[in-house]
């Protein structure tokens, strides 16, 4: 029997905010979310800022990533990014002014 995946505390809020943006679709359970916008698919792993982001650099800590996530970052030929905020996602998707 498979256990439900652990969801970072900020994921539900990020998903809710993305779903309010016209033209954006979101699907869950894909390590963490898939977002579609203007015919493109964006794959995001969401990490909680308090536990996974360096206070000094603002970047996600390598120690916060699972081996499978590191492998995806190194080998995936499509879009895959580790983020910790809605602002990072909006910038990455090219959605400004939010």
- So what's the pLDDT on residue 29? 77
Residues of the chain with pLDDT under 70: 1-5, 97-98
Predicted TM-score of the model (pTM): 0.79
pLDDT digits (tens, 9 = 90+) for 12-37: 999 999 999 999 999 987 778 999 99
Task: Work out the number of other CB atoms within 10 angstroms of the CB of residue 36.
Answer: 14
Structure tokens at 78: 């499509």
Q: Return the residue matching tokens 């979310």.
A: 33
């Amino acid at each position: 029997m498979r256990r439900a995946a652990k969801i970072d505390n900020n994921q539900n809020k990020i998903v809710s905010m993305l779903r309010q943006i016209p033209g954006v679709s979101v699907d869950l359970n894909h390590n963490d979310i898939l977002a579609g916008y203007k015919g493109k698919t964006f794959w995001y792993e969401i990490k909680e800022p308090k536990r996974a982001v360096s206070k000094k650099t603002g970047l996600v800590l390598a120690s916060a990533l699972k081996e499978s996530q590191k492998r995806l970052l190194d080998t995936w030929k499509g879009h895959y990014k580790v983020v910790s905020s809605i602002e990072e996602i909006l910038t990455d998707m090219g959605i400004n002014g939010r």
